[in-house]
Chain A
Amino acid sequence: MRVNGVEVEADCWEGESLLFALREKLGFPGAKNACEQGECGSCSVLLDGILVCACLVLAAQADGHDVVTVEGLAEGDRLHRVQEAFLTAGAVQCGFCTPGLVVATADLLERRPDPTDDEIREALSGNLCRCTGYAKIFDAVRMAARDGSG
């Protein structure tokens, strides 16, 4: 499979999830492991450009496909505008949910450059923040949308 544009190979146990392969075999710890049942969104990545929970993709299913993790969003030393916005808005508390939320937000803004609050709410409904810092997260998404349109 290709991860963040680079062809990689991993020797996996057959039943392994894409999340486990990314974190434990391929050195991409950005996607976080929490619920392992698709409930929390911490492991959100893009599979062929589609937002998915890496814990629910069989690693073997990603064979021959493109995966983008949170590590792949920045360009060199320049953070993605969603990452910048999360920093500026103070949308990061403990930080565990942040990678998943950043990937989900980047995906939303790709499809909807100027989302309404309802659209933000629906797009991020699968990403849980146990610190409950949702107000700042909303600020960050709106800020990133403005930065993108400017």
Chain B
Amino acid sequence: MDILTPLSLDEALALKAERPDAQPIQGGTDVMVGMNFDRLRPPALLNLNEVPELRGWSRENGTVRLGAGLTYTEAMAPDLAAVLPALAEAARTVGSPQIRNRGTIGGNLGTASPAGDSLPPLLVEDAEVECASVRGVRRISLGEFVTGVKRNALADDELITAVVVRPSGAPQTFMKVGPRNAMVIAVVSLAVSAGDELRASFGSASPRPVVVRAPRSEASSFPDRVAEAASPIDDVRGTAAYRRHALRVMAKRALERCLA
């Protein structure tokens, strides 16, 4: 196995073009679990920790650009939480402080699990994913980026470089159901924003991202519509019926919270 540690984004993209079989690793909270349990043995690991362009976040012409290496701890910090409050709430529910200090937004999208906690709050904000390669940079809506369970639209030579959001400023919240408040993979989760348009997106309740939209005048039927839009499954963490029920209850509570 080769370890490739680029020191700049240009170098990272050149290496990824040269070695499309290299598995990117940032925080390691998914990749290292696979390595430790002999489930993942890529021919090469592309260590992105030393690429400064992937760090932090910035404002650009009314948009917010979240570097792919933005950690959950950074997403919880007050300055960013003021701009993307539901994302900050979701970040706070991820794992433990240790996990939040290492795990990143870019890694969450790369893994593309239906339970990824950063996905619903970014989806209700119509986030776009910036993918780069030596061929150039493209932006894809997050809904199109995730193509299935743990599958995404990245080409072999591409890296996720950022998530770009135009913050709505709408009241918004994130909720998650699990056996305890920490160290929980979502049994089911929900992000709701209540601007002129009501929007909801859920986690662990569909193989691909779904955003439910309705005019504000239809708030009373919105929880039912959210529950109906889900396509949950029975698994070790919960039943499909429970997940659908919980989504209806959470959507009602989320609206109460947002519209209060």
Q: A15-B1, A125-B181, A125-B183 are in contact. Are A57 and B28 (CB under 8 A)?
A: yes
B101 interfacial contact with A, CB 8 Å: yes
Tell me whether B33 and A61 are in contact (CB under 8 A): no
Q: Mark B20-39, 1 if CB is under 8 A from A, else 0.
A: 00000101110111011100
The answer to whether A125 and B97 touch across the interface, beta carbons within 8 angstroms, is yes
| A56 and B27 contact, Cβ closer than 8 Å, known pairs A14-B45, A15-B35, A36-B36 | yes
Among B2, B3, B41, contact of A58 (Cβ-Cβ < 8 Å): B3
> Hey, what's the 0/1 contact readout for A33-57 against B, CB within 8 Å counting as 1?
0001111010010000011110111
Choice from B28, B97, B99, B101 contacting A61 with Cβ under 8 Å: B28
The size of the chain A interface, using a CB distance under 8 A, is 28
Q: Counting CB contacts under 8 A, is A140 at the interface?
A: no
Query: Contact between A56 and B28 (Cβ–Cβ < 8 Å)?
Result: yes
Q: Does any Cβ of B come within 8 Å of A104's Cβ?
A: yes
A17 to B45, CA, bound (A): 13
A126 and B32 contacting across the interface, CB-CB below 8 Å: no
Q: What is the 8 Å Cβ interface bit string for chain B, positions 38-64, against chain A (1 contact, 0 not)?
A: 000100010101000000000000000
Closest to A59 in B: B3
Q: Which single member of B2, B181, B183 contacts A39 (CB below 8 Å)?
A: B183
Q: How far is the CA of A37 from the CA of B29 in the complex (A)?
A: 8
Q: Are B41 and A126 in contact (CB under 8 A)?
A: no
CB distance from A99 to the nearest CB of B (A): 13
Give the distance in Å from the alpha carbon of A116 to the alpha carbon of B225 in the complex: 40
CB-defined contacts of A126 to chain B, threshold 8 Å: 95-99, 182-183
Further pairs besides A36-B37, A60-B47, A126-B99: 11, Cβ < 8 Å: A14-B45, A15-B41, A17-B35, A36-B36, A41-B96, A56-B32, A56-B102, A57-B32, A58-B31, A58-B35, A122-B182
Q: Does B152 contact A (CB under 8 A)?
A: no
Using a CB–CB cutoff of 8 Å, the interface residues on chain A facing chain B are 13-15, 17, 36-39, 41, 44, 50-53, 55-58, 60-61, 63, 104, 107, 122-123, 125-127
- Asked if B5 is at the interface (CB within 8 A of a chain A CB), the reply is yes
19 contacts between A and B (CB under 8 A): A15-B45, A36-B37, A38-B29, A38-B32, A38-B96, A52-B101, A53-B98, A55-B32, A56-B29, A56-B32, A56-B98, A56-B102, A58-B45, A60-B5, A61-B28, A61-B49, A125-B181, A126-B97, A126-B182
Please tell me if the beta carbons of A58 and B47 are within 8 angstroms of each other in the complex.
yes
Contact A123 B97, beta carbon cutoff 8 Å: yes
Chain B CB within 10 A, most for which of A14, A63, A126: A126
In the assembled complex, the Cα of A17 lies from the Cα of B25 at a distance in Å of 13
In the bound assembly, the distance between CA atoms of A39 and B99 in angstroms comes to 9
- Tell me, in angstroms, the Cα distance from A17 to B101 when the chains sit together: 17
Interchain CB contact (< 8 A) of A14 among B3, B98, B183: B3
Q: Once bound together, how far apart are the Cα atoms of A141 and B56, in whole Å?
A: 32
Residue of A nearest to B101 (CB): A50
Once bound together, how far apart are the Cα atoms of A44 and B97, in whole Å?
Answer: 10
Contact, CB under 8 Å: B102 / A104: no
Measured between alpha carbons, how far is A50 from B74 in the docked complex, in Å?
12
A74 CB, min distance to chain B CBs, angstroms: 22
Alpha-carbon gap, A56 to B104, bound state (A): 13
Instruction: Name which of B27, B41, B47, B49 has the most chain A CB atoms within 10 A of its CB.
Output: B49
Closest to A100 in B: B98
| Distance between Cα atoms of A52 and B102 in the complex (Å) | 7
Distance, CA A33 to CA B41, complexed state (A): 21
A37 with B96: CB separation less than 8 A: no
CB distance from A95 to the nearest CB of B (A): 20
Q: Are the C-beta atoms of A61 and B47 separated by less than 8 Å?
A: yes
Which residue, B27, B28, B29, has most C-beta atoms of chain A within 10 A?
B28
